[in-house]
Amino acid sequence: MLFALPAAAPPVETYGRLATLEQVLVSPDGTKLAYVRPEGESRKIMVQNLADGKMLAAVGVGNEKLRDVFWVGNGRVAFSTSTTSRIRSNSSSIEFTGRSEIWQTRVYDIEKHTFQLVLDKTPGVGNFTNGGVDVGIVDGVPSIYAVAMRISGVDSLESLYRVDVAGGPTRLLDSGPSIGAINTNWVLDGTGATIAKTEYDRKDGDWRLLVRVGPKWYPVLSENAPLDEPLVVGLGPARTPC
């Protein structure tokens, strides 16, 4: 005769424990594992070989807030952090006041054990981004796409950059209006080219969609959305934004 006995309840303190692993990510080729290990108030990014369990990297982020971790190809792990600080530009005559949440993204090369700070030493741009970044792969080569503040004269423009993580040049893809009430988002095609963008006036709620024809942008749709900004989610069957 078989009996099923109730399992003992776990101790109450079990429910208050912090997670021992966070953001577990497998590399695109399935050979490596990246994950975040909490250490008190800080975080450490661990990279491990799945075949033999060998630890390949342990990257600490100090006192910065860890916002995101992601693979850039199979040999690099990138992570975004933020700190509350005063904004500074690499080359600017504009003086910024007040403190903001400053985002930065670093790329760690697992084989070379080197770091690359996204947008570092890019003329007219601070080495910080407007929030997180995206990864795109064109012809098998991964790049990071980042929106940042570009200084042009006395204006600060919301601008889109493509960063070559293999050490190539950082390219300015496009710029929107002056940073302020207008929020700009871009749509890229499979080659990494900008084909559409949206502009949203957070004050008045005016939104418009523009498409690129050659070097120029043309508005094709507009509406007033005072509550929420309309979103473009991708390309439709005819390769048009939808």
Same domain, 76 and 27: yes
Same domain, 196 and 241: yes
Per-residue model confidence (pLDDT) at position 88: 56
Q: Grade residue 166 by pLDDT with cuts at 50, 70 and 90.
A: confident
Per-residue model confidence (pLDDT) at position 180: 76
Range of the domain at 213: 182-242
Q: Which two tokens stand for residue 18?
A: 């912090």
| CATH code for the domain in which residue 34 is found | 2.40.128
Same domain, 75 and 192: no
Averaged pLDDT for residues 85-97: 53
CA distance 200 to 223: 10
Mean pLDDT, the chain, whole residue set: 85
Q: From the centroid of its chain, how far is CA 210?
A: 23
pLDDT tens digits, one per residue of 40-80: 888 899 999 999 999 999 999 888 999 999 999 999 999 99
Same domain, 222 and 138: no
CB contact at 8 A, 109 and 124: no
Q: Grade residue 93 by pLDDT with cuts at 50, 70 and 90.
A: very low
Per-residue model confidence (pLDDT) at position 239: 64
Q: Which two tokens stand for residue 233?
A: 């989610």
Per-residue model confidence (pLDDT) at position 94: 46
Same domain, 103 and 116: yes
Helix or strand run (H / E) with residue 23: strand 22-26
Same domain, 174 and 212: no
Q: Which two tokens stand for residue 127?
A: 């080495």
Count structural domains, the chain: 2
Q: Edge-to-edge strands of the sheet including 76-85? A: 65-71, 76-85, 100-109, 114-117
CA distance 72 to 182: 30
